[in-house]
Structure 1
Amino acid sequence: MLERLLGAVRPEFRADVLVFPAEDPVFGGGACRVETCLRPARGHGLCQGHHLRWVGAGRPDLAEFAASTDPRWRRQRPNMECRVLGCGFGAARGGLCQFHHQRWDRAGSPDPDDWTAPWAVPRPPAPGAVCRIEHCQLWPQARLAFCHSHANTWKVNGRPDVEVFVRRFDEVAITEDEIIRLSGLSPQLKLEIQYALQRRRDQPSTKTLPAVVMALVRLLAATNAGSLLERTGDQWRTQIGRPAPKDGGPRALLIYARRQVCDLADAGGWEAEFDRDVWQMRRLGFTGNQQLRFTRIPQPWLRDLVKRWLRWRLGTGLGLTVASRGLLALTRFAVFCEHIDITALADIDRVVLKRYLADLHAELAGSQRHGDHIGQLNMFLHAVRQHHWDDSLPAIALVFSDDFPRRAERPPRALAEQVMAQIEDPANLARFTNPAYQLATLILIRAGLRVTDALSLPRDCLVTDADGAPYLRYDNHKMKRQALVPIDEQLHALIGEQQTRVGAAPVLFPRPTKNPEHRAPVASSTYRLALYRWLARCEVRDTHGHPVALTPHQWRHTLGTRLINRDVPQEVVRRILDHDSPQMTAHYARLHDTTVRRHWEAARKVDITGQAVALAPAGPLAEAAWAKQRLGRATQALPNGFCGLPVQQSCPHANACLTCPMFLTTDEFLPQ
C-alpha cells in the first residue's frame, strides 16, 4: 500500500506544509471582498482581518463596508502621528511623541485639549526623511531608519538587516488558519491524507478549508493511528463521536479520505471488484457512492450468476437504478429458493416458478413491483440461456406472458386547466425567489422535458434552424440520446438571460453550493423543494379548493394532452416528447371529452340505408344524443361502426349488425 501511495501522490501534495492560493477552487476561499486585498475570503466573503474589523464596526452593510474600509491590514496601516500640529514623529505615549510627552508632563499634565504645546522640536530629521516602511510617512526616530513604533518592533526582533525587515511589511502574510501542517502524522497516514487532499482537488465537488483539514489532523494525531485502514468506517465514526459533532466537516473529510484510500488499495476495475460481495460502483466509473450488495443471496452458485448478469447489463449502458431493481428482484427469488430447499440451478423448473409466482402474488398483487419482479426474473433466466452461463438450467424453466399481471389502465396525469392557469399566471411566476427556478418551470411546462433532463441542460442548449426558429437541445437520459424540441421566442429570450447570469459555467442551472467549478447541475430534490414552497406562497388550488399537489413530471403529461387536444397529430406529439413508441405517447396524451365531442359533431354519420344522421349541435337533444353515442361507442362498439340503439334496449337483430337499422357508421370505416 505504501508503494501505491508513493506512486499516486503528486509532488505538489507531498509536503509537510501545504499552502493554497486564495483562488484555489477547493481549498481557497476566493479573494476578499475588499478591493486590492489579496487574502483569502472566509466569513461573509471577507478575509480574517477585515471580517474582525467588520464585526467590530457593528456589522454594517457589507457592500458599503467593503467599498469604504481601508484595504490594508493593521500592520500595513500608518502608525499614529503625534497630536501636536506640525510634529511628524510617531506617537509614543498619550498620543504624543517622546519630546512633547516630556514637555506635557513637565507642564503638570494639563488637559491635552487646553495645553499649548511648543511646536519646535530638537534635532528634526532632514527634509523629506521618513520611516523606511513603505506605507509609513512618519519621521524616523533619532538616527534610526524607522519611526518610533517600527523602531521598537525592529529592536524586539533582534535588529535584523534593514532590507529584510522592510520586506516583511510588503509581503501578504499567511495566517495560521490558512496553513495545513501534516508533520505530526505517521509516514503512511500522512501520505494517505495527502492523497485524499489530492483527490478532493481533482474532484472539486465541495469546499474544504484548511482549518477543517487541520481539525482532522489533530484528531488523527491524538489516536496514534498509522493508517486509515487500521479501522473500519464505522469504527472511525465511533472514534469521532456519536451523535455527530456540531462541526461535521472533519468527520465528513475522514470518511471521504478513508473511502479514497480504500479505492486505491482495492483498485483494479471489474477484475478486482467482481468477486466482492459488495460492489463499490464509484470504482467502476459510476458517479456517487452507490453500492450493489449481494450479501443477501445465500446460494454461491446463484450469487455468481446474478453478478454475471448485472455486470453484462451494466456494460450495455444500464443505469444503476434499474440494476438495483434487478438485484432486489433476484435477491427475493434467492430467499424463496432457500426457503423451499432449492440447492442447484437444475432444480429450478416450471413447477418452482409457478410456486414463486403464487408467492409473489400473495405479497405484491396490485402493486407495480409485482410485474417488475416477474420481468426481472424472466430477463435473468433468458440471459443465462442466451450466454450459456450454466447449461443445467431446465428448458421448462420459462416465464410466459400470461404469468404477468394485467396492468390496470392508469388515469390521466395531466393537470386541470384551472390549475395551469394559476401556475402560468405571470404574477405568480414573478414570485419565484430565484429566476433560475422560474425558467426551469417554464421549460418543463412548455417543452415537456423530464425534470432531470431540464436541470442538466448545458449552457449552450439553444440552436436555430435555417428560418431562425429556436429549438432546445437536450440529453434524453432515459433514451440515452440527444433530442431537439421547438420553443417559443419568449422562452428563447429567458434562456439567453440565464446564460448571461451563469457566465462561463458549463451547465445552465449550476448547483448554488458545494460546486466550486460550477459543473454540477442543481439537484432535482433542490428544485422540487423550491417548487413546493412557491406553490404554497401562490396558494395554487385544485378544482375542489384544496392546495394542489403535483409533480414536475405531470407537466410533461399536460403538454402532451394539450397538443393532442389541439389536433396535433400523435406522431408529432411523439417526436416532441421524444418517445420510442406511439403507445407511450398515448399514455401521456389523453383526449378530453370535449375534443371527442367536437370531432363527433364534425363527422358525417350515416345509417344502414346510407342516409345522413343529422343533429344540430346546439339543439335541445344534443347533450342527450352525445351521451347516448358515447355510451354506444364504449359499450356496443362494432367492427365497422357503432350501434345507435340505447344500451337499455334488447337487440332484436342478433349477429346481424351490418343489416340492422340501428347500425351507424362514419367515413373513417370506409377502408373496412
Structure 2
Amino acid sequence: MRREPGGGLRPAEDLDPVHRLWLELPEQWRGPVIGPGIANWDRITENGDRRIDLTGLPDPFPAELAWMAHWQSVDGTRSTVLAMNQLANILRRAIREGHPFPTSMLALDWETASALQGWFYAHRWGRLPPKDSRSRLRVLFRFARQALIARCHDGPWWTLDEWHPRCDPRIPLSTREPQANYGCSPGQITQPWLREAVKWYLGTQLESGALRWTTVSQDRMNCLRRFDVWLTSCLDDPIEVLGDPAAAAGQADRYRRWAMEPGHRKTGTFDRRTPPKPAHPRLINDDIRAVADLFTFMVANRDRAHIVTGYAVWDRVTDTHVAGWFRQVSRIPRTPTLNDRHYVDDHALAQIPGALPLLGLPRDQQMTITRGDGTQVLAAGFDDPQAMRMILLQILTGRRSSEIRTCEFDCLSPAPDISVQSGQDQEVVRFRYAQSKIDTAPDTILVDREVSAVIEEQQRWVREHLPEFEPRHLFVQRTGNRNGDKPYPPGTYNWMLRELSNVARITDGQGRQLQLSNTHRFRHTKLTRLAELGLPIHVLQRYAGHATPTMSMHYVAQREEHAEQAFLATVKLRADGSRVQFSREDHDGLHLLDRADRFLPNGWCLLPPLQSCDKGNACLSCSVFVTDATHEPTLRRQQAETEALITRTTNAFREKHGRAMPEDNVWLAQRRAEQAALTRLLDTMADHPERAVQGGGCGAPPTGPVPLALTGPRRRTRP
C-alpha cells in the first residue's frame, strides 16, 4: 500500500498518472508547503524566499501543482510562487463558498480559471482582477500545465491538441534539431473529422522521419489550418470536400483562388499585426500539396482511418480526389526570381556597421547614428550585444539565422593542414554552425580571424554571465533560462532587428529602406559576391551548405551592374582576330556608358547610369565615389583650400559678431564634413597606394567585434 497525496492509501499497482508523478518528486517538493529544505530556493523562484502553500486543497490539486512547480525549476524557468498561491487561495475560497470548480488541473483550462479569478476578485473586493494579476496567473496555464497534460497522457503523443517538444519529450526531433523552442496547435482546427486526421497524418510522418519538426510545426500545420478556415467559411457543408470525386478538381481550384487572397493568409498573432501582401505562387502550391498529401495518406490507410480518427467520412476519399487536388498545383516557370532587391548593396552595407553598436549599448546610454537619408539622431541603446554579434556573423559568413542562433558554444576548431598567414598573422579556423535544414549537407566552413574574433568575444560574454554552467549554445536566452541551456529565441532576434531598422532607417543605393529582420538577404549577398569572384560552383555549393549546385545558383542574385561589368571585362577582338587594347580610362569610360557627368575633377562616380544622384555635391562622403593616386594632388589642394576657407570665414565671423562661429552652423558643419572626408580619403589612399579607393571618405566600417563595456546582466522584458 502507498499513501496518496491527501493522506489516503491505495494499492501500489493501481496508480493514476498524477499519483505516479507525485511519487517521482523529491521529498522536499511534495508539499503541502514547498520551499523549506530546497537548496537555492531564492534562485529557483521569482519571488525571493516566499513559499508555495497548497494546504487545504482537494486531491489531486496539491500533487499537480507541486509537480508543475518542480517542472518549472527543472526546465530552467522560475517557479511562479505568487501565481500558485493565488490559485490556491481562489480554490480554497471556492470550497468555503460552495462555488463550483473543476476537479483537477487537467480539467481546469485557462478560460475556466480566468472566470474563477474574476469571481474571486468580485466576491472579495468588489472589482475585476487587474491586468498584471491575470497575466501572472496565465503563466501557469502555458508550458507548465501543458507539460503536466503530456506526462499524464498514456496514448500517442499526437492525439493531444497542443504539441511542444519542450513540454512533451515523446515528440521526435532529428539530430539537427537538438532543441525546438516552438510548438503548434492542431486543436485549433475546428472541423473534428479533419483535426483527428491531421493529427494522425502529421504524427505518423514525423515518427517515420518523412517530415521533421520544423516542417510540421511551421509549414504543414499552417497550411492545413488555412484549409480548415476555407472549409468553414466557404462551404455550406465542409464534408462536401470528400463528396463527389468528379467535383474535387473544381473545389481545389476554388481553394487555390481563395488562398491567393492576401487577407486569407493570416494565421498567427504577428500576421494579424502586419498588412497583407500577395502570396508567391510557390506558397499557394504548398497549400494545395499539403491537402493532397493528407488525402493521399488517408487513401493509403483507409482501412484504419475509421478506427484511428473515429470518423467514417474518410471512407469517401478516393484516388480521384487526390488527382483532382494535385492537378491544381500550378507550374511555375523556371525563371530567376532573385535580383537587386534580394541583394544588400555596398551603400547599405556601409551604413550597417555604424548602427550595430546601438544593439549592444546599454539602455541607459545613447549614441548618435546617421540614417540613410543623412540625418543624425540620438538613440538609446537596446542592451542586446548578442543580437549585434549574431547579425554581424550572418553578414560575414552568409549563414541562416537559425544556424547562427542555435550553434554550439564550442563551435571553433583548428583547420587541419591549413594555415593562411598575412601581415596581421591571420589564421583560418573551422566554424561548425547549426545546420538544421539538410541532413546530407555539410555543417562546417572555414572562417578567418575576423569571424573567429566575434565568436570568441561572444564566448567570453557567455562565460561572464553564466559562470556556474557549462554553456551548450553560443547565444543564450537571457530570461527564463536559469539552467543556461536554452538558445537565443528567434522572436526576440527578429523584434530587435525590426526595432533597429525603425531607428536607423538604413537605405540602399536606390533610396529603399532596408529591413534588417530580413536576414536571409545577407545570405544571398554573401553567396552572390562569392559567385561574382569566380568561385567554382562545387566550392560555392560546399560553402553554402546545399545538397545540390542548383540550389546554390538559386541564391545568386542576377545584378545588372555585375552583368555590365562582366561584359566589359571580356576580351574584344578585331575582325582579323587581333586583340583591341584598352587603357584603364577607356575601360572606365565604357563602363560609365559615355556619361560625361560621371567623370569628376577628383575621381569617378560609380552610380549606375540609370539612377539619379541625390547627394548634390557631397561626393567625398559618398559610398560610390572612386578615386586613385592620379587625383591625389587635386585632393590635397582641395583639403588645403577647405582649411583656409574655414579659417578665413570663422575669423570674419568672430570680427563681425564678437564670438566664435558655432559648430552647428549649417555652413560650418558642411565644411567640417568635407574636411573630415578629405582627411579620411587621403589616409585611406596612403594605406593602399597602388589601388583605387571606393567610398574612402565614408570612413572604413568597423570590422570584427565592437568593444562594449558591459556592467552585468540586465533583465529585458519582451513586448
> Which bin holds the TM-score, normalised by the shorter protein?
0.5 to 0.7
Higher mean Cα deviation, 255-264 or 465-474? 255-264
Q: Note closer, same or farther for the CA distance 1:582–1:610 as it changes in structure 2 (3 Å cut).
A: farther
Tell me, in whole angstroms, the C-alpha distance in 1 between the residues paired with 2:329 and 2:220: 22
In structure 2, relative to structure 1, the CA distance for the partners of 1:568 and 1:22 (3 Å cut) is farther
Q: Cα offset for 1:470?
A: 0.9
1:576 CA drift (Å): 1.5
- Give, as a single letter, the amino acid of the residue that structure 1 aligns with 2:288: I
Maintained 8 Å contact 1:464/1:471: yes
Structure 2 matches for 1:431-442, cutoff 5 A?
432-433=360-361, 434-442=384-392
Who is 1:310 aligned against?
Answer: 202
Q: 1:566 to 1:187 in 2, by over 3 A?
A: same
Q: Kindly indicate whether residue 537 of structure 2 is the aligned counterpart of residue 587 of structure 1.
A: no
Query: Using a 3 Å threshold, how does the CA distance of structure 1 residues 246 and 311 change in structure 2: closer, same or farther?
Result: closer
Shift, 1:3, TM fit: 3.3
Q: What's the offset of the Cα at 1:325?
A: 3.0
Relative to structure 1, the CA distance from residue 367 to residue 253 in structure 2 (aligned partners, 3 Å threshold; closer, same or farther) is closer
Distance in 2, Cα, partners of 1:529 & 1:287:
16
How far does the alpha carbon of each residue in 1:435-470 deviate from its partner, in whole angstroms, 9 at most, with x for none? 322221221111112112211121111122113531
The answer on whether the counterparts of 1:229 and 1:262 sit within 8 Å (CA) in structure 2 is: yes
After TM superposition, the structure 1 = structure 2 runs for residues 507-526 of structure 1, keeping only pairs within 5 Å, are 507-526=473-492
Q: Distance in 2 between matches of 1:266 and 1:582?
A: 46
2:265 equivalent in structure 1: none
Residues 538-565 of structure 1 deviation map (CA, whole Å, 9 limit, x = unaligned): 5533335565323222111111122112
Matched-pair identity in %? 19
Q: Which residue matches 2:185? A: 291
Q: TM-score, normalised by structure 1?
A: 0.61
TM-score of the superposed pair, with normalisation by structure 2? 0.57
What is the 5 A alignment of 1:325-474? 325-328=222-225, 330-331=227-228, 339=236, 345=242, 347-349=244-246, 351-361=247-257, 364=260, 367-368=279-280, 369-384=283-298, 393-394=318-319, 397-398=322-323, 403-406=329-332, 409-412=336-339, 413-425=342-354, 429=357, 432-433=360-361, 434-466=384-416, 467=418, 469-474=428-433
Between the aligned partners of 2:510 and 2:240, the Cα distance in structure 1 is 58
C-alpha separation in 2, matches of 1:333 and 1:546: 36
Q: Which residue of 2 aligns with 1:29?
A: 43
Secondary structure class of the residue paired with 1:424: helix
CA distance in 2, matches of 1:431, 1:509: 15
Question: Which residue is 2:85 aligned to?
Answer: 214
Matching residue of 2:132: 246
Q: Write out per-residue CA displacement over residues 184-223 of structure 1, whole angstroms, 9 at most, x where no aligned residue.
A: 222422122222222223322x212545543333233222
Alignment-mate amino acid for residue 286 of structure 2: D
User: What is the deviation of 1:258?
Assistant: 4.4
Contact kept, 8 Å, 2:21 with 2:67, in 1: the verdict is yes
Is the CA contact 1:14–1:194 (under 8 Å) kept in the aligned structure 2? yes
Aligned partner of 1:246: which letter?
A: D
Whether the 8 Å contact between 1:447 and 1:486 is mirrored in structure 2 is no
Partner Cα distance (2:538, 2:62) in 1 = 62
Tell me what 1:321 maps to.
Answer: 218
Please name the residue that 1:195 is paired with: 67
- Contact kept? 2:191, 2:228, Cα under 8 Å: yes
Q: CA deviation at 1:623?
A: 5.6
Deviations 1:142-200 (A, max 9, x none): xxxxxxxxxxxxxxxxxxxxxxxxxxxxxxxxxxx533332222242212222222222
Q: Which residue of 2 aligns with 1:150?
A: none
2:457 matched to which residue of 1?
497
Question: What is aligned with 1:87?
Answer: none
Give yes or no for contact 1:370–1:405 (8 Å, CA) kept in 2: no
Please give the per-residue CA displacement for 1:351-401, whole angstroms capped at 9, x wherever unaligned: 521442255236517623322222223433444556676796145852567
Give 1:88's aligned residue: none
Residue 29 (structure 1) shift = 2.5
Write the distance in 2 (CA, Å) between the matches of 1:346 and 1:217: 51
User: What is residue 169 of structure 1 aligned with on the other side?
Assistant: none
Residues 568 and 591 of structure 2 are in contact (CA less than 8 Å); yes or no, is this contact kept in structure 1?
no
Q: Does 1:15 align with 2:31?
A: yes
Q: Does the aligned pair in 1 maintain the 2:476–2:484 contact within 8 Å?
A: yes
- Aligned mates of 1:321, 1:615 — CA distance in 2: 57
Q: Which amino acid aligns with 2:52?
A: I
| Structure 2 residue aligned with 1:63 | none
Q: Secondary structure at the match of 2:443?
A: strand
Aligned match of 1:155: none
Q: Secondary structure at the match of 1:479?
A: coil
Which amino acid in structure 1 is aligned with residue 411 of structure 2? C
Q: Distance in 1 between the 2:295 and 2:200 partners? A: 12
Quick one: distance in 2 between partners of 1:577 and 1:620?
33
Unaligned runs of 5+ in 1: 31-39, 44-176, 628-672
* Alpha-carbon distance in 2 for matches of 1:215, 1:337: 44
In the superposition, relative to structure 1, how do residues 605 and 362 fare at CA in structure 2: closer, same or farther (>3 Å)?
A: farther
Alpha-carbon distance, 1:416 to partner: 1.5
**Matched residue SS, 1:475:** coil
Letter of the structure 1 residue corresponding to residue 568 of structure 2: E
Which whole-Å CA distance do the structure 1 matches of 2:93 and 2:110 have between them?
Answer: 18
User: Please, which of 488, 497, 507 is the counterpart of residue 541 of structure 1?
Assistant: 507
Partners of 1:18 and 1:507 in 2: CA distance = 32
Match runs of 1:267-286 below 5 Å: 267-270=154-157, 273-274=158-159, 278-281=161-164, 282-283=167-168, 284-285=170-171
Provide the residue aligned with 1:576 in structure 2. Answer: 543
Q: Matches of 2:229 and 2:572 in 1, distance apart? A: 56
Q: Secondary structure at the match of 1:246?
A: helix
Contact 2:471 2:485 in 1 (8 A): yes
- After superposition, the Cα gap between the structure-2 partners of 1:244 and 1:626, relative to the gap in structure 1 and judged at 3 Å, is farther
**1:180 maps to what in 2?**
52
Mapped contact 2:442–2:542 kept (Cα < 8 A): no
Specify the alignment match of 2:663 in structure 1. Answer: none
Q: Distance in 1 between matches of 2:117 and 2:453?
A: 51
Q: How far does residue 483 in structure 1 lie from its aligned partner after superposition?
A: 0.4
State the one-letter code of the partner of 1:327: L
Q: Is the 8 A contact 1:423 1:429 kept in 2?
A: no
**Structure 2 portions without partners, runs of 5+:** 1-13, 96-100, 119-127, 172-179, 262-277, 304-314, 362-383, 420-427, 464-469, 596-719
Q: Distance in 2 between matches of 1:624 and 1:386?
A: 63
Question: What count of residue pairs does the alignment treat as equivalent?
Answer: 473
Partner Cα separation in structure 1 for residue 504 and residue 226 of structure 2 = 43
Distance 2:557 2:549 in 1: 12
The C-alpha deviation readout for 1:100-145, integer Å capped at 9, x for no partner, is xxxxxxxxxxxxxxxxxxxxxxxxxxxxxxxxxxxxxxxxxxxxxx
What residue number does 2:630 align with?
none
Could you say which structure has the larger radius of gyration?
1
Q: Secondary structure in 2 aligned to 1:527?
A: helix
Q: C-alpha separation between the residues in 2 aligned to 1:619 and 1:188?
A: 84
Question: 2-side partners of 1:211 and 1:341: how far apart?
Answer: 45
CA distance in 2: counterparts of 1:355 and 1:212, whole angstroms? 49
